[in-house]
Amino acid sequence: MVGGGAALVALVVAAGLVVADDGPADIAVPYGCGSGGAHGTAGTSSTPDGPAPDRTAPDGVADFDGDGHPDLALGSMGDVPGGYGGGSIEVAYGAGDGTRIARCQYLTQDDAGIPGKNRDEAFFGTDVVARDLDGDGYTDLAASVFDWKPSVIIMWGSESGLSRAVRVPGTDVSHVSWDNDPILDEQLAAGDFDGDGHSDLVFGLGSDKGLLKGPFGRDGTPAATDRVPAPRRPAPDVDTANYSDLVAGDLDGDGSDDLVSFHDADTGPEVPWREATQPVSYLRGGRDGFTQPEGTRIPDAGEGAIGDVDGDGVDDLVLSPRGGDASRSSVTVAYGSEAGPGERTTTIDRDTPGVPGDEPQDEDAAFVTLDTGDVNGDGYADVVAGAPRWDVYGKPGPEQVLFLAGGPDGLSGAGARLFDGDDLGAAPGGDADFGSAVGLTDLDGDGHADLVVTAPGSDTVDGVAYLLRGTADGLSDTGVTRLSGDTFDDTEGLGLLMGGGEVAH
C-alpha cells in the first residue's frame, strides 16, 4: 500500500456505501490457507478504480489479485452452515510455485460483502466464470445464484483479491419455452460474443436480455443487453429439455465467441442408453447478435469444452457423447471451421490404440466433466474428462479422469493416461465423486497447464480438490496438492464441502 493509503481506503469505503446498494461492505480478505477463522476485515482493499496490476498473468488465465500468478475458484453447490444447498465458492490464489496455493478465500452469502443472504437452496456459486468484466486488468468472478429468482453476482478483482461484489441489476428470468425448471437453467457462460474486445456474459437462453455485454459498470450494469435465442426444440415429442451446461468459444474463427448448450431431453424415466436424447444446440455469436445456422450437425452429448485441439487456429468442440451407438466412455471432437463445428469429427474411446482401460458396461461411466488446455506444452490443446460414479443401484466402478493429447491431426490415443481417484487417496466405492469437476490451467506459468480435479464427497466423505502438475510428459501424479474444506476454513462441518460446481480459471 502506498503512502496515504489509509485516507484513500476511508474515502473508497465511504464511496462504496453509496454506490453498491446490496453489497455495501467489503468481502472478507484472502488469508493464509489452512489457518481457518483468521479472516481479516477489509482494511487493505484497493480502490474500485485503482491502478491496473503491474504484472499480468497470461491471456485467458484468471488472476484475481493481479500479482501475475494464476488463481482459481471452485464452485460448491453444497450445504453451508445455515443453508441446505446454500452454496459457496472457494478461491485459491496461486503462488506461482508449482501448484502451491498462497492464499485462500471462502465466499458465501453470509459474507457481509456478498449481496443476498445465505439460505436453503440458493445454490450460490453453482456456476462460476472468471473474466475481466470491467476492463481494469484484474480478473473478476461471476457467479449464478437463486435468491428466490435467478441472478448473477459479480465479485471484482483488485490488488487484494476479490474485494467487492454487486448483483447484476435487472436479470431477466424468462426461460426456454419448453423448459420447466428455473433452478437447473441458471447456467452462466462468459465470452466475447459480439467480438468487440470486451468480455460478455450469457445468463438465460431464450431471454430477450440473456446477453449481458461488457464492459460492466461497478454497479454491475452491463454496457448493453441483447437477446439469446431459444435453441430449437430437439424433437416434437420432447416436452421438456433442461439445459445442463453452456460453453463458449470461437468455433468458426470469425473473432466472436459462439455458444453451445447441452440439453437433457426428458423422454421418460430410466431411458435406456441407446434411446437417450441429449441434443446439443449451437448459437453463432457475431457483431449483430446470435444467429442459429441451419444444418450444423453436432452429435448428442451430455457435456462439452472448447479448445484448439488440432492447432489450426480455430477452436474445436470437445464432447462427451450420449445415447445411440456411442461408447459409454468416449470423447468426440467436433472440429471448428469457417462453417462452424462438426464438419469433421474424431471419437476416442477405450478401444482406441493408446487409451488405457476397458470399455465399461455401466452407464454412469460416462464423462460428466471436460476441459481443455495445453498440458504438454506442444501448442495443441489437450483434454481431460472426468467420470465420477454415482450410480446408487449397483457396485460403482472406479472414479477416473482420462487425459488425452491433442496434435496436428487432432485428438488421439497417443500419450493417453488414466488417473484413478483411489490412487490419489480419494475414498473408494463411489463416495468421493472424484472427477465431478475438472479444470486445466497453468497455475505456475511454466507453459504446462495443470489439472484441477474435485471430489466433492458425500454425507460421510470430506470433499477434496486435487491439483496435479502439468509437464512435457503430461500430468504428473507426484507432488499433488490437496485442498480440503479445512484449507479454506476450519468451521465445523465445512470439511464436507469442496467443488461439485464449475472450476473457474
Question: Applying CB under 5 A, which residues contact Ca ion?
Answer: 63, 65, 67, 69, 71, 132, 134, 136, 138, 140, 157, 308, 310, 312, 314, 316, 374, 376, 378, 380, 382
Task: Please name the residue ranges forming H helices in 248-389.
Answer: none
Q: Which is nearer to Ca ion, 331 or 365 (CB)?
A: 331
Smallest separation, CB 379 to Ca ion (Å): 7
Smallest separation, CB 95 to Ca ion (Å): 9
Q: Which is nearer to Ca ion, 310 or 399 (CB)?
A: 310
Smallest separation, CB 236 to Ca ion (Å): 34
Q: Phi then psi for 95, rounded to 5 degrees?
A: -100, -5
**DSSP SS3 for 17:** helix
* Contact predicate 93/103, CB 8 Å: yes
Smallest separation, CB 83 to Ca ion (Å): 28
Smallest separation, CB 326 to Ca ion (Å): 22
Neighbour-count burial of 393, counting CB atoms closer than 10 A to its CB (0-12 exposed, 13-18 middle, 19+ buried): exposed
The contacts of residue 495 (CB under 8 Å, 6+ apart) are 462, 463, 484, 485, 486
Q: Which is nearer to Ca ion, 123 or 138 (CB)?
A: 138
Smallest separation, CB 497 to Ca ion (Å): 23
CA dist 187 and 174 (Å) reads 13
Residue 185, number of CB atoms within 10 A of its CB: 23
CA dist 297 and 401 (Å) reads 28
Apex 128 CA angle, 299 and 118, nearest 5? 130
As given in the structure block, the three cell numbers for residue 91 are 478461491
CA nearest 137: which of 163, 158, 118, 153?
Answer: 158
Q: Which is nearer to Ca ion, 54 or 208 (CB)?
A: 54
**DSSP SS3 for 16:** helix
Smallest separation, CB 266 to Ca ion (Å): 33
Q: Which is nearer to Ca ion, 79 or 134 (CB)?
A: 134
CA dist 107 and 99 (Å) reads 21
Strand order in the sheet with 331-334: 301-307, 316-321, 331-334, 345-348
CA nearest 411: which of 348, 495, 458?
Answer: 348
Q: Which is nearer to Ca ion, 87 or 307 (CB)?
A: 307
Q: Which is nearer to Ca ion, 132 or 444 (CB)?
A: 132
Smallest separation, CB 504 to Ca ion (Å): 13
- Give 286-294's long-range contacts (Cβ < 8 A, gap of 24+): 286/194, 286/195, 286/254, 286/256, 287/194, 287/195, 287/196, 287/256, 289/194, 289/211, 289/226, 289/227, 290/193, 290/211, 290/226, 290/227, 290/228, 290/229, 290/259, 291/229, 292/229, 292/231, 292/232, 293/340
State the SS3 of 291-302.
ECCCCCCCCCEE
Cell numbers 487456429: residue: 313
Smallest separation, CB 137 to Ca ion (Å): 7
Q: Which is nearer to Ca ion, 288 or 338 (CB)?
A: 338
Smallest separation, CB 307 to Ca ion (Å): 8
User: How far are the Cα atoms of 203, 231, 275, 303, 453 from residue 406, in angstroms, in the given order?
Assistant: 31, 30, 31, 18, 20
Q: Which is nearer to Ca ion, 67 or 442 (CB)?
A: 67
Q: Which is nearer to Ca ion, 218 or 233 (CB)?
A: 218
Smallest separation, CB 492 to Ca ion (Å): 30
Smallest separation, CB 198 to Ca ion (Å): 11
Q: Which is nearer to Ca ion, 195 or 217 (CB)?
A: 217
Q: Which is nearer to Ca ion, 108 or 372 (CB)?
A: 372
Residue 224, number of CB atoms within 10 A of its CB: 12
